[in-house]
Structure 1
Amino acid sequence: MVRSGSASGTTAGPTLAVVAREAGVSVPTASKVVNGRADVAPETRRRVTEALERLGYVRRPRFDAAKAPALVDLVVQALDSPWSGAVLRGVEEAAREAGLEVVVSSAPPGHGTGLTHSSGGSGSGGRPDRGWLDRLTARGSAGVLFHVAELSPAQYARLDHLRLPYVMIDPVSEPPAGVVSVGAANWRGGVTATEHLLELGHERIAVVAGSRRRMCGAARVAGYRSALASAGVRPRAEYLRVGGPDEGAARVRMLELLDLPEPPTAVFACSDRAALGVYGALAERGLRVPYDMSVVGFGDLPEARWAAPALTTVRRPTAEMASTALRLLVRMMAGDRPEGTRTELSTRLVERASTAPPPV
């Protein structure tokens, strides 16, 4: 973890970020000194060592899978989320390789933020409470993977105080500086979806997005805009529709698009759920996909394959994100520190039957 400070009135000692600030170095540099790495200048090593002794820094024991299987927690927002199964598969695969035992739990109810992950994340939003976080360490967890919408500043501070390594999987909002997270290449996914429609001959391309607060949704819309600009197509303000992330809200936004004097001929929905809402609006108006309107989604949920017609969408590598997060967590448990705090995995277009050239 790399956030400075600790909770007042606590006795767990300073975090590595506090030591780094005291010594006037970066957190990765301080981590190298703590872990006995050789690639540190002598003067820098002296300053960090003195800061460690002055502040009374106590290092967490290094994780050694050869001694005994370590216990890690995977916290998902809802076990019945369409994304939770893929997350579980990815974590299970990587945990088996690392010799870890995994405890899976859902975030306790009653601490929600009102956020949901329908645009590409896990179930409805929630913030685990402080006591619940303390229980993770009480049962001996060596690290935590969070697949929840977001954590509050107080919870980030509590995790730092507990000195518990953790990684965020596809958070809705951008985490604080220094927090390690794994996500998808959302901007590139937005570019890919829009370029596919442009290559088919569409120029009147609309986008149906979720909340403006969502980091992933904003990146997908930015990719959409970039692809249009690269193709020399002027984006129309009326073709950008922002609403809730569920099917009902997307259906309303699509009906608004159909009522324009010059409706679009194609739609990029920033989630598969939104794409299904677009399907509903088109069916209500007696329009057919893809003959009257092409539709591209984002996520590649199982529903994308079951839809009629099957939905062309951008695949979000959920299982791969989860396994990558677990491998990063293992490194942190061993006292290492990833060079970068944000890891993005590539997306790819999955062509099915919902896109075609624009109608004549």
Structure 2
Amino acid sequence: MPSRSHRTTLATVAASAGLSVATVSKVLNGRSDVAPATRSRVQSLLVEHGYIPRLSHRNQAAGSATIEVWVDGKLSAYATEIIKGAIEAGAESEVAVVVTHLKAGNDTSWVRDLVTAGRRAMITLACEPTAAHLAALSLAQLPVVVVDPMNPPVTPMTSVGSTNFAGGLSATQHLLALGHRRIAYLGGPADAASNQARMQGYRAAMETAGVPVPPEYVRTAGFCYPDGVGEAIALLDLPSPPTAVFAVSDECAIAAMQVARNRGLRIPEDLSVVGFDDTEIATMTSPQLTTVRQPLREMGMVALRTALRLASGEKIESHHIELATELVIRESSLAA
């Protein structure tokens, strides 16, 4: 990350504009008593110099404390549960939570807006800050907490997740205990850390039981319903299709159930299905979904509290926090 010696100051911007530091400060703080042409020139120079203000004590006042939550793409049932937890923990601490979309690209001018708006810290969900994001946030002294990181971090960062390997292991062991041997893994993105851990849990259970895994039984796509549809079709088209499917998410599991129904198969008599997450949709389908419960709301709460601790300058015990998963057995799984 950039060192403090690389930091652009207001004085640098003011000198390049031929203006006083006070005038540049007025533009930065949104004051109206600056000529439009001057305001435009200063704003351009702020971007050109990559100026990033530090969080001031004024912005850290308890009454105006706000945490920014970044999400990427649509608000899925998974993301919504985590956000609910962050909002609940924020209410307990009298902190506001603002949800917005991930800022793409390497332009870091948005960091100035965060500081000016009084943000204390940032939580990212279903997306990860780039090296440029982390460098800009570090200069602004805005801490970041990543929920369920998609990839192993290339730079030190604080994260909150769950025991994905243990969850994959317990889901597969459950299906094995029911007598299934043709068990497929309907997975997420190949390079996603959570997908890799769940898949390794699946493979470990199968290997321990002495059950071979045909290469075509392991699929990688995404975490959402459309991803699950395509891969479930591929699995059920196999000459020897599985009698059970462990899916990387509840959405993919429900997609597999629908694909099976479209072919006249019964759930769970003809195909047992286990998901991962235990979102609200797991109990809205018929039959209700057996799934691995991630403590999603608790993950959001822990992320919010950790972000506040970092913003207050506290030292935390670990830079990665894992909460326990739990298998929830419902009606979508049955003995072979």
TM-score by length of 1: 0.74
Residue equivalent to 1:102: 96
CA contact (8 A) 1:62 1:333 kept: no
Displacement, 1:278?
0.8
1:334 is the counterpart of 2:332: no
The answer to which of 234-243 and 68-77 deviates more is 68-77
Give the secondary-structure state (helix, strand or coil) at the position aligned to 2:119: coil
Displacement, 1:92?
2.5
Give the secondary-structure state (helix, strand or coil) at the position aligned to 2:330: coil
Q: Which amino acid aligns with 1:302?
A: E
Residue equivalent to 1:316: 294
Q: What CA deviation, in whole Å up to 9, does each residue of 1:87-113 have, x standing for no partner?
A: 2321233223333x214131167x3xx
The answer to which of 224-233 and 236-245 deviates more is 236-245
Q: 1:62 to 1:266 in 2, by over 3 A?
A: farther
How much is the aligned-residue C-alpha RMSD, in angstroms?
2.7
Residue equivalent to 1:246: 224
Greater gyration radius: 2
- 1 CA distance for matches of 2:239 and 2:79? 42
Residue equivalent to 2:71: 76
- 1 CA distance for matches of 2:172 and 2:256? 16
Q: Give the paired residue count.
A: 293
- 2 CA distance for matches of 1:5 and 1:146? 24
CA contact (8 A) 2:55 2:142 kept: no
- 1 CA distance for matches of 2:58 and 2:149? 27
Give the secondary-structure state (helix, strand or coil) at the position aligned to 2:185: strand
Q: What CA deviation, in whole Å up to 9, does each residue of 1:30-87 have, x standing for no partner?
A: xxxxxxxxxxxxxxxxxxxxxxxxxxxx99869998x756333233345743234322
User: Where in structure 2 are there 5+ consecutive unaligned residues?
Assistant: 11-53
- 1 CA distance for matches of 2:86 and 2:329? 28
CA contact (8 A) 1:78 1:84 kept: no
1:297 is the counterpart of 2:275: yes
- 2 CA distance for matches of 1:297 and 1:212? 18
User: Where in structure 1 are there 5+ consecutive unaligned residues?
Assistant: 13-57, 112-126
- 2 CA distance for matches of 1:251 and 1:68? 47
Displacement, 1:295?
0.4
Q: 1:213 to 1:246 in 2, by over 3 A?
A: same
Q: Which amino acid aligns with 2:90?
A: A
Residue equivalent to 2:29: none
Q: Which amino acid aligns with 1:105?
A: V
Residue equivalent to 2:83: 88
TM-score by length of 2: 0.78
Q: 1:87 to 1:244 in 2, by over 3 A?
A: closer
CA contact (8 A) 1:209 1:269 kept: yes
CA contact (8 A) 1:275 1:295 kept: yes
Q: 1:341 to 1:63 in 2, by over 3 A?
A: farther
Residue equivalent to 1:287: 265
Q: Which amino acid aligns with 1:304?
A: A
- 1 CA distance for matches of 2:198 and 2:300? 21
